[in-house]
Chain A
Amino acid sequence: MTADREPKTGTATAGTQSASTSGTPLVEMRNINVAFGGVHAVRDVSITLFPGEVVGIVGGNGAGKSTLMKVLSGAHPPDSGEILVNGERASMRSPRDAKHHGIETIYQTLALADNLDAPANLFLGRELTTRLGNLDDDRMEDATRKVMGRLNPAFQRFSTAVKSLSGGQRQAVAIARAVYFNARILIMDEPTAALGPAETAQVRNLVRQLKNEGIGIFLISHDIHDVYDLADRVSVMYHGRIVDTVSKHGVTTDDILGMIILGKKPGDVTQTELEALELRG
């Protein structure tokens, strides 16, 4: 892992520039609306993602980031709006539908069954079976050893319940689950929130590596630097709406921060609001 990390990072930077935003998007969400009772969690949101592109989704608590991504991952069907995958309308009524379209999600909570071991978690909901339909635990362990060997070569605890693994190991299991099934679209919800510095660096490298393989990634994060470092474009959400989607190269982190806090595009911000913001900062 360490050996091939350097060149990979190098090409990743090149990839950042070449990620094209023309042609057919990998995913297009059009006019998505979600309401919980009277609360509009997501209002009329449209967003696109292209192959090999990382789109950061940022915003304060309750801005609607996670709800929007739950719509795409099939965990929460939208009230209205449509989703296109590779230009074709796709219905996301359940997580199974989304996985069928090559959309994998790494949840902030990791969504691991803590009482099961790593192979059982990796194949949760789509276990490998023998011809008679019995669980093929050996084949699953074998596949898990291979994919974990790529992500975390030191990992050896394949028959331990994941609850007794470290935070980084658990994260690796959650990522392995997405990677193994050849995701074309990856949703990462706060992938580094619970990790130490070394593990965070590992996840960042992984994001670059996956991006190079042509996978489109939605990256939800509170950490503006994470997003600025990894994303090609950034969508800022505020009270359920998208304030703006900007190319990273056109803005500074301060511009993005301003959009997160004020909910307005940089040009629309008045002088008094800017002063108030600077006073707070």
Chain B
Amino acid sequence: MTDVAGTAPQQAVGRNRPSLRELIRATEVDLRQFGMVVALVVIWIGLGLANPNILQPVNFITFSVQAAGIGVLATGMVLVIVSRNIDLSVGSVVGVIGMAYAVLMADVLPGMIGANSPVGWLIALGAGVVLGVLIGAYQGFLIAYLGIPSFVVTLSSLFLFRGLTWQLSGGTTVAPNFPTFNLIGGGPQGSLGGILAWIVGLALCVAAVALLVNARRTRRKYGFPLRPMWAEVGVAVVSVAAILGAVYVANAYHWPSGLATTYAREHGLTEPPGGLQIESGIPIPLLIVMAVTIVMTFLATRRRYGRDVFAYGGNPDAAALAGINTRWTIMKTFILMGILCAISAAIASARLNGGTLDLGQGYELYVIAAAVIGGTTFEGGVGSIPGAILGALVMQSLQYGLGFLGMNSPQINMVLAMVLILVVGLDAWNRRRAR
């Protein structure tokens, strides 16, 4: 009732001239996520004013590849926090799986299948995913079936798996990975190239428009209220522009001249004056984070599993009374988190060409912060996966941008700490006002 009373005057005021808030509401775009996109744009304008050199394609590519590892984990952390749990172990699990990749590829697999086997990277990746599933199942079982609080279980794992990383490696860095595996980490070779990038971009555009058209058609079929046509077209245009813009930026980055020269020599090409210009295109880690976001959003919003997670987060008793197998739901969430750790570890160790003892260290805080900045709340039941990706981008933009401007990393950490409190504080204040 209070809610109705709270919104009615706002609508009455906006009757003559629709407010921005109402226009956004008509498009059914999440107001909070819209705000975060605005914040991202503001951050980059600010960074650009401070040092215009930062607004180069290479910087956008580097920063987003750095955000990829965090982003992948943040999508899973959303579901963990939505279901009233926490996972402090992600950094250590990334560490131990990353080290497992390195040990496999540097020590184990070359003796068995040779270092140049075309499927070597796949075997390593598969082993990592299996390890992730096992770790997730171990943690999920303790939490869901034995009732040990997730804070305690994952805190224990934070130490356990960092220790295991040392045991596995004998206390040193292990390298190298298979070259094909390292493509997962991006770089000029680990990118799609100009043409393929445009194809992927166009496919995404077609998919986005098809989803919009299909949604409108089914709503009309059932006679539900439709959003205004200008809003539909607006959402479609903005989506397409964003996708194509991202591809354009990625393609605006060309291979470094040394690498291009080597490539030309190897492929018997004559370099034109000014050097061979090879468009980099979308880096593979970005492609991975996009795919993970789509799959996780689909799981969270279009599948029973996701509905169960959100229902449990909103009211655990109601979920159990509705016949939902709540324990298995929680366990599945941690297994999913283990798989995401394996993906994130692949990106991180591929970029390093090996496993280091501190791989993934401190990830848990960035990942939790990304989820929370993205609108996931600790009361449970509320969270958004695209929001968490935006949260990861905000965190990484600040980290990369402030580093570019010459801040050292302790100073950057202090800024990020303040941003986290600011965003969550604003959220809490906003919620209290709405109530």
Contacts and interface: CB of A to CB of B under 8 A. Distances in A.
Instruction: Bin chain B's interface residue count.
Output: 20 to 34
Interface residues of A, number: 32
Given A95-B323, A113-B315, A141-B222, A134 B302 contact: yes
Contacts of B324: 124-125
Contacts of A145: 224
Contact of B315 (A111, A125, A166): A111
Contact of A138 (B218, B303, B323): B218
Interface string B375-389: 000001110000000
A73 B302 CA distance: 29
Interface centre among B219, B302, B317 (most CB of A within 10 A): B302
A124 B319 contact: yes
Contact of B318 (A96, A113, A133, A166): A113
B307 interface: yes
Contact of A116 (B218, B302, B310, B321): B310
A26 B1 CA distance: 40
Contacts of B304: 127, 129, 133, 135
A138 B321 contact: no
Contact of B303 (A96, A99, A124, A135): A135
B318 A124 contact: yes
Contacts of A99: 323
Given A113-B310, A115-B310, A116-B310, A133 B323 contact: no
B321 A75 contact: yes
A115 B382 contact: yes
A52 B110 CA distance: 75
Given A134-B302, A135-B303, A141-B224, A126 B323 contact: yes
Contacts of A107: 321
A85 interface: no
B320 interface: yes
Contacts of B218: 138
Nearest to A143: B222
A72 to B, nearest CB: 13
Interface in A130-147: 133-135, 138-139, 141-142, 145
14 contacts: A75-B320, A96-B323, A99-B323, A111-B321, A112-B315, A113-B311, A115-B310, A115-B314, A115-B315, A115-B381, A115-B382, A120-B307, A125-B324, A134-B303
Pick the 6 closest A-B CB pairs, nearest first: A125-B322, A115-B314, A115-B381, A113-B314, A96-B323, A111-B318
Given A75-B321, A125-B323, 13 more contacts: A99-B323, A113-B314, A113-B318, A115-B313, A124-B311, A126-B323, A127-B307, A133-B304, A134-B302, A135-B303, A138-B222, A141-B222, A166-B1
